[in-house]
């Protein structure tokens, strides 16, 4: 008889409860998923918001008739993945979910189909759509403050490092599904570059060329086609995802970038600082687990006392 294998010593992951041979309960959207007491109210709220967007669609930044919007869910009972509103905001209604976003979702929608979407909200045809309506709190355009992640232009500006009379930012290009929308977005980015709202950032290298103690200026070591924004545009055209570092000269130019609709996110470039290793106390566990039930323990040494 083969000997029993020895247990692992000091495992990184240790299971603290016994397995249960039970199948998970299958769940989906049905009549029980509808929050009945909110349904009629949210039909009025969302239909009004949708018709308002349809009426002001000409003022929104859009590409090939599509734009981004924020769908916020009711935090208290509607954030589970099973409540994802993909039946209401579906391709049939001219919408597509892009990604989760701050207590809700970012969606891409055809502006010309918002009138149809309002009709679907007012006259839902099945329980799945009713469930979505009753769990969506609001529908709003993806505004400049959303692209800045709730930070003001002044906060963004002050957090960005300076370089050559401008400030450095990382710009994420707005994701769109159709090639036509992507090409139109790239045209807008190119226009922002021509207007000097976006300035290129090129790789540089500090070369020692003079005697000791003389100032050494950084030299560009790449052509303009290798700038941060040029590479981001190439990646975006090929994959639909693009991110690049740019220089922006003023707060006004930063506001113009956010209002253009070309960006999904704008962040200040993080500054790297050198710190001496081995200084300071070991960090404490950031939460109290003394009275909490322990299901599993994962520790790669972050809270080690040695």
User: Tokens standing for 6?
Assistant: 């020895």
pLDDT at position 44:
96
CB within 8 Å of 144: residues ≥ 6 apart: 255, 258, 259
**Angle at the Cα of 270 from the Cα atoms of 232 and 256, rounded to 5 degrees:** 55
- Helices H / strands E in the chain, number of each: 8, 12
Cβ atoms within 10 Å of 246's Cβ, excluding its own: 26
CATH topology assigned to domain 147-205+221-268: Alpha-Beta Plaits (3.30.70)
- pTM of the predicted protein model: 0.74
pLDDT at position 278:
61
pLDDT at position 74:
94
Cα(266)–Cα(264) distance, integer angstroms: 7
Cα(293)–Cα(300) distance, integer angstroms: 20
CB within 8 Å of 250: residues ≥ 6 apart: none
Match 């018709």 to its residue by tokens.
51
User: Tokens standing for 53?
Assistant: 């967007």
Q: Is 202 exposed, middle or buried (0-12, 13-18, 19+ CB in 10 A)?
A: middle
Nearest to 295 by CA among 25, 12, 10, 14: 14
Cβ atoms within 10 Å of 170's Cβ, excluding its own: 19
31-142: which CATH architecture?
2-Layer Sandwich (3.30)
Cα(267)–Cα(156) distance, integer angstroms: 7
The rounded average pLDDT for each run of 10 residues, N- to C-terminus, in the chain (306 residues) is 52 60 65 92 96 94 95 92 92 93 93 93 93 95 92 93 90 93 94 91 58 54 66 91 92 94 92 65 66 65 52
pLDDT at position 306:
45
Q: Could you tell me where the beta strands, DSSP code E, fall in the chain?
A: 13-15, 66-73, 95-100, 104-110, 136-141, 162-163, 166-173, 204-206, 218-220, 243-248, 263-268, 296-298
User: Tokens standing for 88?
Assistant: 């209401």
- Are residues 169 and 266 in contact, defined by beta-carbon separation less than 8 angstroms? yes
| Partners of 14 in beta bridges | 297
Instruction: Pinpoint the residues of the chain covered by CATH 3.30.70.
Output: 31-142, 147-205+221-268
């Amino acid at each position: 008889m083969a000997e029993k294998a020895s247990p692992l010593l000091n495992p990184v992951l240790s299971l603290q409860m016994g397995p249960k041979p039970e199948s998970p309960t299958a769940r989906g959207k049905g009549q029980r998923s509808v929050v009945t007491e909110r349904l009629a109210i949210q039909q009025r709220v969302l239909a009004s918001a949708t018709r308002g967007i349809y009426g002001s669609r000409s003022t929104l930044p859009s590409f090939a008739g599509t734009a981004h919007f924020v769908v916020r869910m009711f935090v208290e009972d509607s954030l589970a993945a099973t409540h994802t509103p993909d039946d209401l905001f579906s391709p049939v209604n001219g919408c597509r979910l892009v990604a989760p976003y701050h207590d809700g979702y970012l969606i891409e929608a055809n502006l010309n189909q918002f009138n149809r979407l309002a009709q679907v909200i007012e006259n839902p045809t099945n329980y799945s759509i009713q469930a979505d309506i009753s769990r969506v709190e609001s529908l709003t355009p993806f505004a400049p403050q959303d692209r800045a992640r709730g930070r003001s232009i002044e906060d963004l500006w002050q957090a960005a490092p300076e370089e050559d009379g401008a400030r450095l930012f990382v710009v994420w290009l707005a994701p769109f599904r159709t090639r036509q929308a992507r090409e139109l977005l790239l045209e807008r980015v190119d226009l922002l570059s021509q207007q000097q709202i976006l300035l290129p950032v090129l790789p540089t290298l500090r070369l020692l060329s003079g005697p000791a103690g003389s100032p050494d200026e950084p030299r560009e070591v790449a052509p303009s086609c290798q700038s941060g924004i040029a590479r981001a545009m190439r990646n975006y055209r090929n994959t639909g995802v693009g991110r690049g570092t740019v220089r922006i000269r003023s707060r006004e130019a930063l506001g113009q970038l956010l209002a253009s609709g070309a960006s999904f996110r704008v962040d200040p470039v993080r500054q790297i600082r050198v710190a001496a290793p081995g200084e300071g106390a070991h960090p404490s566990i950031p939460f109290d687990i003394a009275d909490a039930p322990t299901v599993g323990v994962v520790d790669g040494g972050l809270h080690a006392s040695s």
